[in-house]
Chain A
Amino acid sequence: MTDATLGGPSRAPSREEQAAMAEKSEGGVMLAADGTPLKLSLARSLRRKRLRAFLLVLPLLAFVLLTFIAPIADMLFRSVENQIIPDNMPRTVAALEEWDPAESELPPDAAFEALVLDMVEMEAAKSHTRVGSRLNYEQSGMSGLFRKTGRRADRVEGDYRAGLIAIDEEWGERQTWTTLKNFSGAYTLGYFLSAVDMTYGETGEIVAKPELQQIYMFLFERTLWLSLAITGTTLLLGYPIAYLLANLPMRTSNLLLILVLLPFWTSLLVRTSSWIVILQQQGVLNDTLVALGLIDDQNRLSLIFNQTGTIVAMTHILLPFMILPLYSVMKTIPPSYVRAAKSLGATNWTAFWRVYFPQSIPGIGAGAILVFILSIGYYITPELVGGTSGVFISNRIAYHISSSLNWGLAAALAVILLIAVMGLYWLYDRIVGIDNVKLG
């Protein structure tokens, strides 16, 4: 070993060289034209190739990482981040560390003093309202409490406890202090608890929210169930269309394909609104049914602003995502197979079911996974036609992003949705096999 290092180039032998040397010691070795062992020079050139390929995709990789993965990761990180409290109320956080809500009704005097001092500082930095809004997500009234206390905290002297309670009786309630303590860490589980309809109780234990406020688990369930229903209806409607497209002469099928793509190119909002025109109680469909005497004018059907509306509109909107993969897979199935089956005595049904259908499964897999994943995160169509019984979890995420500004809860809901989708994807891979999915 020492000899090799002395005699050879002055660097430690790489793994390839060691392998080459090991081989040499076993017996003869093939040499390349320049005298290096063939295996070694091959490995080198391969490595160079791989490096070049990596450098070629590097810009794209960096782009995706920077503009896609990083912002999403940053956003999702908010679901546990709670830096604002320890940053703004360091004294209170420290003073509450020792206090156990289960043992005593209220924290020690030191906590009251710390809170007043923190509050005066926050008021000067104008951050007390931000902290108040943050805590208001956990307990109603915190926002007002902080605004009010911030205005008067600098006048509290001597007996801090009495002074604070004089500003607002809320400071004499255990719940207020428990909330402060529960959310004093730099990281919190609170958003995730809210996202599964749980919360911290008066003494810091985890309890279910009152039944009147339980909403998210129910919405997750509904999102899942409606997405499955939409996937099912698009498959049911899309399969025959794709079959027709794949088996007609080129000229006719191209024409029909344009009919499939035309709505695809039309604005989403236009398509959704036209469903409102068609399906509403004074709409085209109901008017026709009344005119035909099939239903009574007083009992018009409610077809929109409920689950039916969501399923109908979304099935229509997502249909191309089912038809196109199905069509491109069916296009590759040689018609001679079905003819062969028939010539061997199969009925039409057997030939389809035993010969044609199994070959179209990769298309079904691709279409189903596309439609399902698109619909589980769908937002605008359910918002417009879903009424109250047809909205998805994404509508609540949007509400928390754009309206309540509770981005932590929105992020927690999004993380759960992401995990659920990945879990389903894994299950799908186990059952169907992702290798079986073909887009064309």
Chain B
Amino acid sequence: MRKTLLAGTALVAAAAAPSFAQNMEGTLTIVSWGGAYSASQQNAYHAPYLEKNPGVTIVNDESSAEAVARLRAMTEAGNVTWDIVDVTGADAIRLCDEGLAMEIDHNEWLAPAPDGTPATEDFGETIHTDCFIPQIVFSTTFGYRTDVEAWEGREPDDLCDVFDLEAFPGTRSLERRPISNLEWALICDGVAIDDVYDVLETNEGQARAFAKLDTIKDSTIWWTAGAETPQRLADGEVVIGSTYNGRLFSLIVEQNQPVKMLWDWQTFDLDGWIIPADVPDEKLPLIKDYIRFATDTQRLADQAKYISYGPARASSAPLVSTHAELGIEMAPHMPTDPNNAGNTFLFNYEWWADNRDDLDAKFQAWLTR
């Protein structure tokens, strides 16, 4: 009873919202990652919002990669010039813990789904801290070249083929950080997925993961920027490598390179907005208005026309349509598509927040040895 009532009011509110919404004015400084990702936000969020509110100016700042450090510096200097910042889920936890990001009431800030489901239910688990407003689900997964002669026609279809130098010789490209790599190593060393983090918490478990990575260490190049693996795959410098699935999508579909996806045990990760804790009060109405617009069901589904990342709202998934320029169906390229999501795991944010510093030191020490 209570739920239907709630849903009912939400529906009324949603229907009434446009007529009440007055035109906004002012300047928004929005920080994001640049490249194809910022372009997808420009097309799906900024452009329609600016059309609705001609009095608003959006200033794009492409410094998400160093957002955590810069936001801290700005806050300490007492001069926060950013209004909305796009960060990964892990960075959002750090910013929230440090008190640099604003804690928000998701149901108050975010629009409900078209059927009236409140935002917190529609976004579900993707809201992992009180500061984080999710946009997309992306995954870190593998791509491999399809024309490697030494593989004699075999194609990898299992994550553990990455660790199999005999059947699939050649150079690998892995990210220069412990996250995902250690989990993958343990999975391929025979640890059940539910036990991975328990095992990784012990010294023996860590030694086991590093020992597994040792088997391919000599044939691995380590990347720090998401563009490196696609470039190396295209050059033939590596035969198999991990990166964000959207990067591989553009390599395969937009650039037609002889590369295929290996979705097995992709690591899901989140990306979304945070609001700096110290934005001036008079800016808040505009920020709220933009966020409510840019994270509604339709907008999140629209973004998937431009980049192959899955919308964070459950209600957006059925609305995902075709690529804006190529006209192909986007659903089969989404990390969340059932055909791709056979074996997946969600990056364990809390566990990594606790253990990242320690394991990172160990990982770097292992790399230099």
Beta-carbon nearest neighbor of A404 in chain B: B357
Q: Is B108 at the interface (CB under 8 A from chain A)?
A: no
Chain A residues whose C-beta falls within 8 Å of the C-beta of B237 in the assembled complex: 280-282
Give the contact-size bracket for chain A.
35 or more
The answer to whether A282 touches B236, judged by C-beta atoms less than 8 angstroms apart, is yes
Chain B residues whose C-beta falls within 8 Å of the C-beta of A389 in the assembled complex: 368
Q: Is A343 at the interface (CB under 8 A from chain B)?
A: no
Chain B residues whose C-beta falls within 8 Å of the C-beta of A126 in the assembled complex: 99, 103
Beta-carbon nearest neighbor of A145 in chain B: B354
Given A136-B354, A137-B357, A402-B69, A281 and B171 contact (CB-CB distance below 8 Å): yes
Instruction: Identify which of B32-40, B51-59, B358-366 touches chain A.
Output: B358-366
Select which of B97, B221, B351, B365 is within 8 A of A214 by beta carbon.
B365
The answer to whether A387 touches B69, judged by C-beta atoms less than 8 angstroms apart, is no
Given A130-B99, A280-B235, A141 and B365 contact (CB-CB distance below 8 Å): no
The answer to whether A388 touches B68, judged by C-beta atoms less than 8 angstroms apart, is no
The answer to whether A129 touches B357, judged by C-beta atoms less than 8 angstroms apart, is no
CB distance from B176 to the nearest CB of A (A): 7
**A 362-376 contacts with B by CB, 8 A:** none
- Alpha-carbon gap, A212 to B369, bound state (A): 9
CB distance from B135 to the nearest CB of A (A): 21
Chain A 272-289 interface 0/1 with B at a Cβ cutoff of 8 Å (1 = within):
000000001111000000
The answer to whether B97 touches A143, judged by C-beta atoms less than 8 angstroms apart, is yes
- Alpha-carbon gap, A282 to B98, bound state (A): 45
Select which of A133, A145, A402 is within 8 A of B97 by beta carbon.
A133
The answer to whether A140 touches B355, judged by C-beta atoms less than 8 angstroms apart, is yes
Select which of B97, B232, B362 is within 8 A of A212 by beta carbon.
B362
Q: Is B288 at the interface (CB under 8 A from chain A)?
A: no
**B 142-179 contacts with A by CB, 8 A:** 171, 176
- Alpha-carbon gap, A126 to B236, bound state (A): 50
Q: Is A403 at the interface (CB under 8 A from chain B)?
A: yes
- Alpha-carbon gap, A212 to B68, bound state (A): 28
Q: Is A181 at the interface (CB under 8 A from chain B)?
A: no
The answer to whether B368 touches A215, judged by C-beta atoms less than 8 angstroms apart, is yes
The answer to whether A141 touches B355, judged by C-beta atoms less than 8 angstroms apart, is yes
CB distance from B331 to the nearest CB of A (A): 34
Q: Is A316 at the interface (CB under 8 A from chain B)?
A: no
Q: Is A147 at the interface (CB under 8 A from chain B)?
A: yes
The answer to whether A305 touches B68, judged by C-beta atoms less than 8 angstroms apart, is no
Select which of A280, A401, A404 is within 8 A of B356 by beta carbon.
A404
Q: Is A127 at the interface (CB under 8 A from chain B)?
A: yes
Chain B 328-369 interface 0/1 with A at a Cβ cutoff of 8 Å (1 = within):
000000000000000000000011011111111110111110
- Alpha-carbon gap, A140 to B355, bound state (A): 5
Chain A residues whose C-beta falls within 8 Å of the C-beta of B94 in the assembled complex: 133, 405
Q: Is A225 at the interface (CB under 8 A from chain B)?
A: no
Chain B residues whose C-beta falls within 8 Å of the C-beta of A161 in the assembled complex: none
**A 294-337 contacts with B by CB, 8 A:** 305
CB distance from A207 to the nearest CB of B (A): 16
Chain B residues whose C-beta falls within 8 Å of the C-beta of A143 in the assembled complex: 97, 353-354
Chain A 194-228 interface 0/1 with B at a Cβ cutoff of 8 Å (1 = within):
00000000000000000011110011001000000
The answer to whether B368 touches A136, judged by C-beta atoms less than 8 angstroms apart, is no
Given A212-B366, A402-B69, A387 and B222 contact (CB-CB distance below 8 Å): yes
**B 53-101 contacts with A by CB, 8 A:** 65-66, 68-69, 72, 94, 96-99
Given A280-B235, A404-B360, A130 and B97 contact (CB-CB distance below 8 Å): yes
Chain A residues whose C-beta falls within 8 Å of the C-beta of B27 in the assembled complex: none
Chain A residues whose C-beta falls within 8 Å of the C-beta of B235 in the assembled complex: 280, 282-283
Chain B residues whose C-beta falls within 8 Å of the C-beta of A222 in the assembled complex: 368
**B 91-118 contacts with A by CB, 8 A:** 94, 96-99, 103
CB distance from B224 to the nearest CB of A (A): 7
- Alpha-carbon gap, A148 to B20, bound state (A): 42
Chain A residues whose C-beta falls within 8 Å of the C-beta of B366 in the assembled complex: 212
Select which of A140, A142, A388, A403 is within 8 A of B367 by beta carbon.
A388
The answer to whether A132 touches B97, judged by C-beta atoms less than 8 angstroms apart, is yes
Q: Is A433 at the interface (CB under 8 A from chain B)?
A: no
Q: Is A383 at the interface (CB under 8 A from chain B)?
A: yes
CB distance from A242 to the nearest CB of B (A): 36
Q: Is A406 at the interface (CB under 8 A from chain B)?
A: yes
The answer to whether A305 touches B357, judged by C-beta atoms less than 8 angstroms apart, is no
CB distance from A289 to the nearest CB of B (A): 16
CB distance from B218 to the nearest CB of A (A): 10
B68, B232, B364: most-surrounded residue (chain A CB, <10 A)? B364
Q: Is A423 at the interface (CB under 8 A from chain B)?
A: no
The answer to whether A215 touches B365, judged by C-beta atoms less than 8 angstroms apart, is yes
Given A129-B97, A147-B97, A405-B68, A140 and B368 contact (CB-CB distance below 8 Å): no
Given A388-B176, A405-B68, A133 and B98 contact (CB-CB distance below 8 Å): yes
Chain A residues whose C-beta falls within 8 Å of the C-beta of B354 in the assembled complex: 136, 140-145
Chain B residues whose C-beta falls within 8 Å of the C-beta of A129 in the assembled complex: 96-99
Chain A residues whose C-beta falls within 8 Å of the C-beta of B224 in the assembled complex: 383
The answer to whether A403 touches B68, judged by C-beta atoms less than 8 angstroms apart, is yes
Beta-carbon nearest neighbor of A132 in chain B: B97
Chain B residues whose C-beta falls within 8 Å of the C-beta of A147 in the assembled complex: 97, 350
Given A130-B97, A133-B94, A281-B237, A396 and B364 contact (CB-CB distance below 8 Å): yes
**What are 20 A-B contacts defined by CB distance under 8 Å?**
A126-B99, A129-B99, A133-B94, A133-B97, A143-B353, A143-B354, A144-B354, A213-B362, A215-B364, A215-B365, A222-B368, A280-B237, A281-B237, A282-B236, A383-B224, A388-B176, A391-B368, A401-B69, A404-B356, A404-B357
Residues of B within 8 A of A (CB): 65-66, 68-69, 72, 94, 96-99, 103, 171, 176, 221-222, 224, 232, 235-237, 350-351, 353-362, 364-368
Q: Given A126-B103, A214-B365, A282-B235, 17 other A-B contacts at CB below 8 A?
A: A129-B96, A133-B94, A133-B98, A140-B354, A140-B355, A140-B357, A143-B353, A213-B361, A215-B368, A280-B237, A305-B222, A383-B224, A387-B222, A388-B367, A403-B69, A406-B357, A407-B72
Shortest 9 CB-CB distances between A and B: which pairs? A140-B358, A129-B97, A144-B354, A402-B69, A215-B365, A388-B367, A282-B236, A402-B66, A141-B354
